[in-house]
Structure 1
Amino acid sequence: MKTTLRFAILSAVATYMLIFTGGLVRASGAGLGCPDWPRCFGRWIPPTNLSQLPPDIDPAQFNFTLAWIEYLNRLLGVVTGTLILITAILAFRHFLKVPRIVVPAAAAALLVAYTGWQGGQVVESHLESTLVSIHAVFAVLIGVLMVWVAQQVYYRLEPQAEQGGSYPAGLKKWIPAILGVALVQVLLGTNMRSTIEAFYADRPLAGAFAWLEQAGFLNHLHMGLGLLVVVPGVIVALKLLSARPSPLVWQGAWAVILLAAAQAIFGALLVLLGDPELMAILHLWTAALIAGMLLLLYAALKQREGEPRAVH
């Protein structure tokens, strides 16, 4: 069972690393660094110079840096998918009669397979905005699922982990709503990114802050929903900290508070500094991490209530 826990944790960490590199691909414009799928310029390993390009490929399409950024992102995707598949196999082997582990593990494995295929569709569509947004949301969902699986396996190994915790009644019901808004935020944020990219593709000489007018209502909606994630999320975390939290809940609550603060800072810097690439990457990444930490808190509260119960 400890092996299952190790692979579940590795899968969760790899997924969030993949979300970061996916943001790097998006912000750097490397989404079409490899214009074909699953190969890159017809090769399993990207070319290192123009002489290695296939004769039917226009050399103007090749950019060494962008090709390798996209290739490494794909490579990490393969590693992540393999880890998740192994986790699912171990879950079926050791926890076949524990739906709270088997079902999300299987769902993550199926979702990562679909997301891998969909990544090819994103490339073939030349980064169609809706497909890119769905791709990002699926990645966040996979991360959330793997956090859940790892935590549930941990509770089977340490069934008394939450026994010393004491939390306000009714607090648990707010977390799924906040998590739902967070997922909508990811979808909305990636759509905004597409809007901004399209704007500067048509107007390459536009100023650094010109995108604000173009985003318009979408930007205001994104900021408003952001407050609906950050403020309630911090309130929930503070209420948990003011109670008698277990070590895991204490860590998760502080993670939510710190990530929410970072998310707000990165969002403000995106506006104030004219949409710098690094801030865009960190803004998406912290949103994904907040979603994972919210689910961690939710699972801990359910465990404290006796759901799911320990399996001996």
Structure 2
Amino acid sequence: MNQHADRLRTLAIAFYRSFAFPTGETLRRWAVAAVVVNAGITVTGAAVRLTGSGLGCPTWPRCTPTSFVPARNDLHSPLNMSIEFGNRLLSFLVLAVAAACVIAAVRLGRPGYDRPRPVLVRLAALQPAGVVLQALWGGLVVRTMLNPVTVSVHFLLSIGMMAAACALLARSGEGDGPPRRLVHRDIRTLGFVLTAAVFVLLIAGVVVTGTGPHSGDQAASRFGFDIQSVVRLHTDVAYVVVGLTFALLFALHVTDSPGRARRAALVLLGVELAQGVIGYVQYFLAVPALLVGFHVLGSTLVWIATLRVVFLLRSRGPAEAPASERPELHHAAA
């Protein structure tokens, strides 16, 4: 029992120090946490829609007109209300991680350290700002009765927050020098083109989602597009993305580029192929909700893996150690 208590105490102290007395490594861990929670709430948000719980809490910011928590409602089942309310509660977890990112970025400039790195503070600040924007936009989603435009933007805002968290992760592990290419200029340009293509793929995906079934509630409206046409468009863009990824992987291999970049591109290709398999299976099985949920998860993984590849195609040099960790400064003071 004492051993478990000591372990919990050690973990609690490490948790506190990770943002009260941060290092570059602990800031990177908080950035990873930001990526994970933003991807997670994107998937749980899809689960709300896939279970028909989109209007389980029919008002905002309250769950019902008279209560902030689920209350008896003849229009919605207790299960639907609990699912929607649970997803709202997860926003506080995302906010907590966002606040920890900001505190860690700012506290890197505490006494004994250099001043905070402005780029890290700005990138970290995007997290709580994004949470607030998402919360307000979520209210608009509810007030517009799950209009597919507002639902689509809700998803794309999460994609943007994931990108900001990935940027924080990358920048916290490197210096502030000008970016230096680690690959040929044309290969880096191909990486940017691939990122743009993946973003277009995500937009095409939300159009398919807003046109097909699983609207989140019987009262929700749908896009008026032909579902077969938008699915074909989405598939065509997916083929372009896979082709660009294969071209990037091949170019990295034949030019003997850094191993980390090659491995990241290979992981991206694997995620894309798995996502393609899920997409085809869900289409031929008449779009079962469970597979749609996995497809949403796959879309976030494709986006994260793409950003990781792009960041590994260049370097800004190693991050400078904080003042309290530089041996030469301790010797000078002595």
* Unmatched 5+ stretches in structure 2: 1-22, 110-114, 219-224, 322-334
User: 1:63 matched to which residue of 2?
Assistant: 77
Q: Is the 2:48–2:84 Cα contact (8 Å) retained in structure 1?
A: yes
Greater shift after overlay, 65-74 or 88-97? 88-97
- The within-5 A match list for 1:161-200 is 167-197=183-213
1:65 to 1:100, Cα distance in 2 relative to 1, 3 A: same
User: 1:19 matched to which residue of 2?
Assistant: 42
Between the aligned partners of 2:163 and 2:303, the Cα distance in structure 1 is 7
Q: Is the 2:173–2:318 Cα contact (8 Å) retained in structure 1?
A: no
- The within-5 A match list for 1:10-159 is 10-41=33-64, 42-47=66-71, 53=72, 57=73, 59=74, 61-94=75-108, 98-155=117-174
Between the aligned partners of 1:229 and 1:113, the Cα distance in structure 2 is 32
Paired residue secondary structure (2:88):
helix
User: 1:291 matched to which residue of 2?
Assistant: 303
Greater shift after overlay, 283-292 or 169-178? 169-178
Q: Is the 1:101–1:153 Cα contact (8 Å) retained in structure 2?
A: yes
Q: Tell me the CA shift for residue 83 of structure 1.
A: 0.9
Q: Tell me the CA shift for residue 168 of structure 1.
A: 4.7
User: Are 1:232 and 2:244 an aligned pair?
Assistant: yes
User: 2:29 matched to which residue of 1?
Assistant: 6
CA deviations 1:81-135 (Å, max 9, x no partner) are: 2211321232234376645433332233322221121011101111011111111
Q: 1:302 aligns with which of 288, 291, 314?
A: 314
The alignment of Structure 1 onto Structure 2 pairs a total of residues equal to 283
Q: Is the 1:186–1:284 Cα contact (8 Å) retained in structure 2?
A: no
CA deviations 1:121-179 (Å, max 9, x no partner) are: 101111011111111011011112112211221335xx9xxx9x964552111222222
Between the aligned partners of 2:215 and 2:121, the Cα distance in structure 1 is 44
1:74 to 1:171, Cα distance in 2 relative to 1, 3 A: same
Paired residue secondary structure (2:55):
coil
User: Are 1:245 and 2:262 an aligned pair?
Assistant: no
Between the aligned partners of 2:146 and 2:201, the Cα distance in structure 1 is 20
Q: Is the 1:175–1:295 Cα contact (8 Å) retained in structure 2?
A: no
- Which of these two proteins has the greater Rg computed from alpha carbons? 2
Q: Is the 2:57–2:85 Cα contact (8 Å) retained in structure 1?
A: yes
Between the aligned partners of 2:317 and 2:129, the Cα distance in structure 1 is 23
Q: Is the 1:199–1:214 Cα contact (8 Å) retained in structure 2?
A: no
The AA in structure 2 aligned to 1:23 is: A
Between the aligned partners of 1:301 and 1:197, the Cα distance in structure 2 is 39
Between the aligned partners of 2:62 and 2:215, the Cα distance in structure 1 is 30
The AA in structure 2 aligned to 1:113 is: V
Paired residue secondary structure (1:155):
coil
User: 1:206 matched to which residue of 2?
Assistant: none
Q: Is the 2:98–2:128 Cα contact (8 Å) retained in structure 1?
A: yes
1:170 to 1:178, Cα distance in 2 relative to 1, 3 A: same
* Unmatched 5+ stretches in structure 1: 48-52, 203-212
Between the aligned partners of 2:105 and 2:80, the Cα distance in structure 1 is 37
The AA in structure 2 aligned to 1:171 is: I
CA deviations 1:155-214 (Å, max 9, x no partner) are: 35xx9xxx9x96455211122222222222222222222222389999xxxxxxxxxx93
Q: Tell me the CA shift for residue 251 of structure 1.
A: 4.6
Paired residue secondary structure (2:57):
coil
Between the aligned partners of 1:102 and 1:144, the Cα distance in structure 2 is 15
The AA in structure 2 aligned to 1:187 is: I
Between the aligned partners of 2:88 and 2:212, the Cα distance in structure 1 is 24
Q: 1:216 aligns with which of 199, 215, 228?
A: 228
The AA in structure 1 aligned to 2:51 is: S
Greater shift after overlay, 14-23 or 167-176? 167-176
Q: Is the 1:88–1:105 Cα contact (8 Å) retained in structure 2?
A: yes
CA RMSD of aligned residues (A): 2.9
Between the aligned partners of 2:271 and 2:305, the Cα distance in structure 1 is 9
Q: TM-score, normalised by structure 2?
A: 0.75
Greater shift after overlay, 234-243 or 288-297? 234-243
Q: TM-score, normalised by structure 1?
A: 0.80
1:148 to 1:121, Cα distance in 2 relative to 1, 3 A: same
Between the aligned partners of 2:39 and 2:216, the Cα distance in structure 1 is 29
